[in-house]
Structure 1
């Protein structure tokens, strides 16, 4: 027959259980602050957020004090896809720029005729934090950047070209799927934190003969690329 739990033991078990739950909650708040947005009940850090040690964003994502750099102008579809991918994923809340500024860089590299502008803008919004999330992430000095593993023409693109009706695609349209790692870093309380996760997406691009320099037409959903 099992020994009964005495009142003193019961209180100790209860205290240990509560202590573990509090620790778990604190760890959860720290991770949440980087993966999504900081808990609004968490006290904000100092006005001048410190930067954690670690890799810097890719050079083409570095913002000047006046404006964000445009996407590389080139007739090389792969080079354009890589540059556009960095512009899409890389951002830094510790600057004075807003999500709309980062989105505008992508839109500026779109079809100059404006035919796909509204659809591309909708695609880009799904990649960037909302204004509310951005404000919360800014309190943590959060920044994000991409490291690319591969940029390739998906095998299914040939089938898509074969099935496209005459005139449905601009001449020189091509798809590039990019795979890599999305990094995010910031300060939660007094601790530097960094998270990373795999990411993949497809860019639909039109180059020569339609345009002298490549242009971005559309984007796939994040983590739902062509293969």
Structure 2
């Protein structure tokens, strides 16, 4: 193998560029996996992030059986709270190693959206705020990151009664209701061959429309994450 001529300025520049690229990847990977697994800080708690749970390293589990990846499905329901729970579960359930991208998971939620199409553009924007961006997704894929939600509480917020009273006649379709969900978002991934997990409390509101307007419920919009109706 020919030894590079380090007296050649072009050779030195290429070697320096290669070293910088390698160091940059290592630094960004170290920062990225911690930040993306833990998630954004809870802005409602101010600058004190002492309550933010740190990733927990656990022993690797036995490998799961190899199966063909499939997108989750939102089960239909004519009960607002049951439907909201079904949507929330799927909204937070994704696997970067599945081969799917954020838009694939977005389409699953849009499939149960407003049949008239009037709210679809707004709903698509809402969903995008709950999912990693494409670049973040590709970064997370390097660590086989997965996510799911456990639901602790589901209720129709008192603020919704006030909103209905103040709504103009015909402004809300019959059977439209807000459902607030409180739960815990779980993320997991591999970092240096170790299984790393994190947990983050979340709360949000889903606006759905059910009977008598439709036989089954449909999703209209989502509130900002961690800014639900109470």
Q: Same fold (TM over 0.5)?
A: yes
Across the aligned residues of Structure 1 and Structure 2, the Cα RMSD in angstroms comes to 2.4
Aligned to 1:218: 221
Q: Secondary structure at the match of 2:34?
A: helix
CA distance in 2, matches of 1:191, 1:185: 10
Aligned to 1:122: 125
Change (3 A) 1:156 1:185: same
CA distance in 2, matches of 1:29, 1:218: 30
CA distance in 2, matches of 1:33, 1:126: 14
By how many angstroms is 1:119 displaced?
0.5
By how many angstroms is 1:69 displaced?
3.4
2:181 counterpart of 1:174 = no
By how many angstroms is 1:226 displaced?
0.1
**TM-score with structure 1 setting the length:** 0.74
Q: Which residues of structure 1 form unaligned runs of 5+?
A: 1-24, 38-50, 57-63
Given the alignment, which residue of 160, 163, 166 partners 1:160?
A: 163
**TM-score with structure 2 setting the length:** 0.73
Q: Which residues of structure 2 form unaligned runs of 5+?
A: 1-27, 41-58
Q: How does 1:107-146 map to 2 (within 5 A)?
A: 107-146=110-149
1:141-191 per-position Cα deviation (integer Å, ceiling 9, x unaligned): 000010000010001110010000111111100010000000100011122
Q: Does the CA contact (< 8 Å) of 2:126 and 2:222 recur in 1? A: yes
Q: Does the CA contact (< 8 Å) of 1:152 and 1:178 recur in 2? A: yes
Q: Secondary structure at the match of 1:226?
A: coil
By how many angstroms is 1:33 displaced?
4.8
Change (3 A) 1:77 1:29: closer
Change (3 A) 1:124 1:92: same
CA distance in 2, matches of 1:117, 1:203: 14
Q: Secondary structure at the match of 1:126?
A: helix
Aligned to 1:204: 207
Aligned to 2:12: none
2:95 counterpart of 1:92 = yes
1:9-53 per-position Cα deviation (integer Å, ceiling 9, x unaligned): xxxxxxxxxxxxxxxx9986652252359xxxxxxxxxxxxx954
Q: Which aligned segments of 4 or more residues in structure 1 are displaced greater than 6 angstroms?
A: none
CA distance in 2, matches of 1:26, 1:205: 39
CA distance in 1, matches of 2:29, 2:114: 47
Aligned to 2:71: 68
Change (3 A) 1:68 1:32: same
Aligned residues: 182
